Chains A and B, each alone.
Chain A
Amino acid sequence: MRMPRLAGDGVWRWLSGACVALSLLAVVALLALVVTRGLAHFWPDDIEQLTLDNGERIAGIARDSEAGERRYFTANRDLDGQVWQWIETQAIETRETPPDLLYAERRDWGPFIGRLTAVDTSAGERLQGDEAERHLRQALAGNAEITTLHLRNVEGRAAEVAFAQVASLSWPNRMDVGDKLAAWGHGVWRFLSEAPSDGNTAGGVWPAIFGTLLMVMLMSLVVTPFGVLAALYLNEVARQGPLTRLVRIAVRNLAGVPSIVYGVFGLGVFVYGLGGRLDSWFFAERLPSPTFGTGGLLWASLTLALLTLPVVIVATEEGLARVPVALREGSLALGATRFETLRRVVVPMALPSMLTGVILAVARAAGEVVPLMLVGVAKLAPEIPVDGEFPYLHLDSKFMHLGYHLFDLGFASRDAEAAMPLVFATATLLVVVIVVLNLTAIILRHHLRARHRALEHS
């Protein structure tokens, strides 16, 4: 519908256009911020060595600058008691990137920036200088054994680190782009595959990824059949009248009920109600320490299943409504029972929309944190809830969740500032997972509509 351009229109057109632009801008800016910061975290930046006008020497990685000051990540929490330093740019006399500065990630005390003085080999030898470095490189590659590293910071203060404490070690100033890219990939891989360390401010998020996936899988096992059956009931079995309309409104409303209310329900009914009952029946010998009477994987999955039920029902109903009535009537006219019609004709046609619903439910559940805070998420649970011990899948155990991990890192950790890069990395991961899931659902639905349109026109 093209309409004529008329004077006086402009203001509203551009003002409303600004609304679209601003909304998109906000989202793009948000995503760009999260993703660039999150991915930049793994990039081995050059380490600068600064000499200040008062003679002090500082080594660190330049981060952000503001009003004549620049902030450096100086690491070495054990030596300096802090990891960040604001430095006036005017006070800096020299800035250089000496190739022998190394960056070591330790399992305690966070990263170390400084130089290598010596290494102790497992044979009890102490190697110095170039030989020490050569030996260290071999040890990092797994070809030699080292017990202790002797390091010093740029001011010359010494620190000893047991080799087993070193999570990674590199000389960023010597790396070329290819090396850095490789190191970046390695960093991303470690982030995805390792457990958190150093009070959650370092290491990876593997238990959180696994916990999220497992919880979401259990949830979809529950929500899919019930959501689909409820939609079938509403759309195919129940008589269409004011009552079904009421139920439909109620189901739609449930999507608008705050997620914290589901959390409260889960805590009161599943955890304290059902869980407490189960404990007193089957696990009485362990009381008063609760088995199922406390938050856990099972209750979290059930709570989220309830939360995402409306999503599945609404999507499935939409799909069912699009199946042409003529097909149903044809099937019934050929002598099929209602069940057979549903099974052979209606459900197969609505299958993609059910899938869309489940994917949307999974995406919603993956990002939902609030109810989990009440029904079983843990700050730190490095053991994943699946192991070789009977019953293999521990439904009663607490688990980690990406979204909660993000909240915990940013708002409850000892040093939120130092954990920030990791928070951004975790947020990136979460956003990527959710965007991918949603895009899948959107594309699926798009194809679906196209297919139905073709069907209706034929």
Chain B
Amino acid sequence: MTDPSTDPPRPNRRLRQRLDRLATGVIAASGIGVVVAVLAIGVYLTLAVLPLFDGAEVEVDTAPSAADDGTMHAVWLADDGTRWLTREGQLRDAEGEIATLAAGATITTVAEAGQAQPLALGLSNGEVRLVPRDDQGRLRWTQAATLRLFEARSVAALTLRHAAQGWVLAGRDTQGEVAALWHTAETTRRIAVPETAEHIALGYAGRLAMTQGTQLTLWQLSPDGGGGTSLARTETRAPITALSFLQGGRTLIVGDANGGLHRWRLSPDDTGWQAAETSYTALGDAAIRRLIALPRQRLWLALDDSGRLGLYQSLSGQRWHGQAPEATPPTAVSVNAQGTQVMWLGATGTPQRLAIEAAHAAVSPATLWMPQTYEGHSDAEWRWAAAVTGDEEPQYSLVPLAWGTLKAAAWAMVFAVPLALGAAVHSACYMSRRQRARLKPAIELMEALPGVVIGFVAGLFVAPFVERHLAGTLALFVCVPLGSVACGWLWRMFSRRMELRLPPISAGVGLIVPLALLCWAALSLSPWLEAWWFGGDLRAWMHQQWGWDYAQRNALIVGMAMGLAIIPTLYSLAEEALSGVPRPLAEGSLALGATRAQTLWRVQLPAAAPGILSAVMIGAGRAVGETMIVLMVTGNTPLMSPSLFEGLRSLAANLAIELPEAAVGGTQYRLLLLGALLLFVFTFVVNTLAEMVRWRLKRRYRRYGGDA
């Protein structure tokens, strides 16, 4: 203590005031800063996810013409518009003519198939000239080769696609005769197709779609030079006017004379089409004139006779529609490798540039949440496979992930809720204050166990163990409750028989050893049980009887592991609610002659019900967001199976697996962030509700004179 008689040096009063204000300001600023930082999480996630739902856009502007007189008449032009090829076969750029490609004939049609395949020019004398590309995708005009497709008649249409170790080229002459060239590393074979067609399009591995009026034929070309076989013949409702396979060559888009646009998909067993065609929103009722497949995201452009242009995506449908730069069909169209820009040259000779802004066109509410028929599958299904390579179709349904999340959480709750509530009831109603004070730190320690430790023990130790002792594990669920009741009965009999007043030992502690023995007995007896009832192997028996498969890392294990992880949370909150029930309520009930069980069920549990509900909600929030355990214990297969014995993949685990590899800003990246946002919103809402329930309950207890 300072001696009051010797005045301490008085600090400056103004300085003290200023310091006070400053400190208050700093504290307030950091307090508010923290709150803002917290809000920033939600804001950031929302901002990052929003571009997914931006509409697609096609912007048309006039590209500066490279030709000296401002007009270009061409059958082909480069995707940057600097070079073009005239009907007469002259390759030109701004400087003038570079080369001549079709001596003595004119170019009637052009086909391209991406930056790795040659450019094919169909000539009026029935020949095809092929301009190869080098490793960077640049055309080597001087090395053009000539191949004969038709004897005399002019080539009217060409279609080209890569096939194993080479490419396939199919053409139609002016009379509708169809022939193809199949190029492999060794040879190039000509295939005469015994069909006539108005429109042709090549799919993957030599599947050729041909139309004649309303008839659509799927033909299988063969590389050995035979004519091939017909896979399917279908009648459509209206005469077909345009045809194109999309990226990957497994989806065919068909446009008809009434303006209808339809999707046909090759069936997974390679025998024809998938069951039903799918129709898209039409542009109008004018005939479809041209279909242009873009090289990314299975996007395509449709042009009809009245000059309407539409941008579509294979699964999500129409993304944009508007007016084409010119009403007449273009004479030359080229698309850049990214599929973001289309050069369009029409009859007027002024090149137009179409900028296509559709970064996330494959995402729509329907593709996220509704079942889709994906390429290579025969039925509409919910599937997730966002990380794809090459021309595979990405599958962007969030449903399997949401299902996995909820399934894992639900099983965890099935294990955790009875155990945690039972434990809470026991410690609130049957334990002395001292015993409770000892139990609490143990449970707190349990809460602190990191998920990675629980996950690893469950995934690497428990999962193989349960696989070997499935019958024993399942037997435990019956043995443990029965065994503990039996123990209680024995205890009472014993203490009565022996006329002993045994110390009032808590059932919770007293049961640990008998239960451990019981578990051990059940597990070691299970081989006999299995041999006796299930022919020695429960898993094989289940498969035989019910067709259930057993994956080593499955929902049962994740239920047990995650259950263990959320028990402490549930227990603490439920115990708080139960022990907060005002004592006079329970005492009154007992005084009126109710048994303890009746008091528990009729008075204490109903009074604490909102608190218990909020405990369950918070526990569910935990279970939904728990990542490490699910990641390590489930096998991470995005299945939609309700089976307890199969794996799953949760939203959170999916984030941990895919986010480090996802391209920043891509569709997959943003979808993963959407998953994170869903988790954030879900837990935030659930926790807020639970917190409000708890707060109201506390107020009510206070009214009844409780001490909580």
Contacts and interface: CB of A to CB of B under 8 A. Distances in A.
Contacts of A338: 20, 23-24
Contact of A306 (B22, B37, B483): B37
A14 B48 contact: no
A268 B44 contact: yes
Contacts of B688: 249, 253
Contacts of A363: 448
Interface stretch (B107-115, B281-289, B395-403, B425-433): B425-433
Interface stretch (B87-95, B374-382, B487-495): B487-495
Interface in A415-449: 416, 420, 423, 427, 430-431, 434-435, 437-439, 442
A230 interface: yes
Contacts of A12: 425, 596-597, 600
Contacts of A67: 527
B676 interface: yes
A410 B456 contact: yes
B315 to A, nearest CB: 26
Interface in A18-65: 18-30, 33-34
B19 A339 contact: yes
B632 A410 contact: yes
A304 to B, nearest CB: 13
Interface string B662-699: 00100000001100100110011011100110000000
A364 B442 CA distance: 17
Nearest to B443: A23
A84 to B, nearest CB: 13
Contacts of A9: 595-597
A278 interface: no
Given A23-B571, A374-B660, A268 B48 contact: yes
B267 to A, nearest CB: 38
A300 interface: no
Contact of A20 (B427, B452, B687): B427
B426 A25 contact: no
B508 interface: yes
B34 interface: yes
Contact of B481 (A18, A27, A252, A272): A18
Interface stretch (A92-100, A176-184, A232-240): A232-240
A315 to B, nearest CB: 13
Nearest to B596: A9
B166 to A, nearest CB: 36
A262 interface: yes
B540 interface: no
Contacts of A403: 450, 452
Contacts, number: 332
A438 B445 contact: yes
A55 B489 CA distance: 57
A261 B676 contact: yes
Contacts of A370: 451, 627-628, 631, 652, 656
Contacts of A230: 30-31, 33-35
Given A20-B426, A253-B688, A439-B445, A14 B27 contact: no
A8 B593 CA distance: 13
A411 interface: yes
Contacts of A309: 34, 37-38
Contacts of A101: none
B38 A15 contact: no
B446 to A, nearest CB: 5
A11 interface: yes
Given A27-B446, A237-B27, A363-B448, A20 B625 contact: no
B583 interface: yes
A251 B38 contact: yes
- Tier of interface size on chain B: 35 or more
B506 interface: yes
Contact of B24 (A14, A29, A339, A410): A339
B145 interface: no
Nearest to A245: B695
Nearest to B22: A339
Interface centre among A16, A17, A27, A28 (most CB of B within 10 A): A17
Interface residues of A, number: 100
B622 interface: yes
Q: Which of A11, A19, A232, A427 has the most CB of B within 10 A?
A: A19
B449 interface: yes
A323 interface: no
A229 interface: yes
Given A9-B596, A13-B488, A18 B422 contact: yes
Interface string B466-506: 00100000000000110111011100100000000000001
Nearest to A236: B27
B2 to A, nearest CB: 13
A309 B627 CA distance: 20
B426 A17 contact: yes
A264 B683 contact: no
Contact of B27 (A229, A262, A263, A416): A229
B557 to A, nearest CB: 13
A17 B508 contact: yes
A78 B583 CA distance: 71
A258 B627 contact: yes
Contacts of A6: 595-596
Nearest to A262: B41
A247 B30 contact: no
A258 B624 contact: yes
A4 interface: yes
Given A261-B41, A338-B24, A410-B456, A27 B512 contact: no
B327 interface: no
A226 B30 contact: yes
Interface stretch (B73-81, B148-156, B359-367, B457-465): B457-465
A49 B419 CA distance: 48
A238 B31 contact: yes
B509 interface: yes
Given A1-B583, A24-B512, A237-B28, A368 B450 contact: yes
A123 interface: no
Contacts of B516: 25, 29
A229 B30 contact: yes
B652 A258 contact: yes
A427 B456 CA distance: 9
Contact of A253 (B34, B509, B567, B683): B683
B420 interface: yes
A289 to B, nearest CB: 15
B16 interface: yes
Nearest to A255: B687
A407 B628 contact: yes
A233 B30 contact: yes
B590 interface: yes
A368 B519 CA distance: 32
B507 interface: yes
B269 to A, nearest CB: 36
A18 B659 contact: no
Interface in B626-677: 626-628, 631-632, 652, 655-656, 659-660, 664, 672-673, 676
- Enumerate the 5 nearest inter-chain pairs by beta-carbon distance, A residue then B residue, closest first: A233-B31, A258-B625, A17-B507, A367-B450, A19-B422
25 contacts: A9-B595, A13-B488, A14-B507, A15-B485, A16-B429, A18-B515, A23-B446, A23-B564, A34-B457, A225-B30, A233-B28, A234-B31, A256-B622, A257-B684, A260-B625, A263-B659, A268-B44, A306-B41, A337-B17, A338-B24, A369-B628, A370-B451, A406-B452, A411-B456, A442-B445
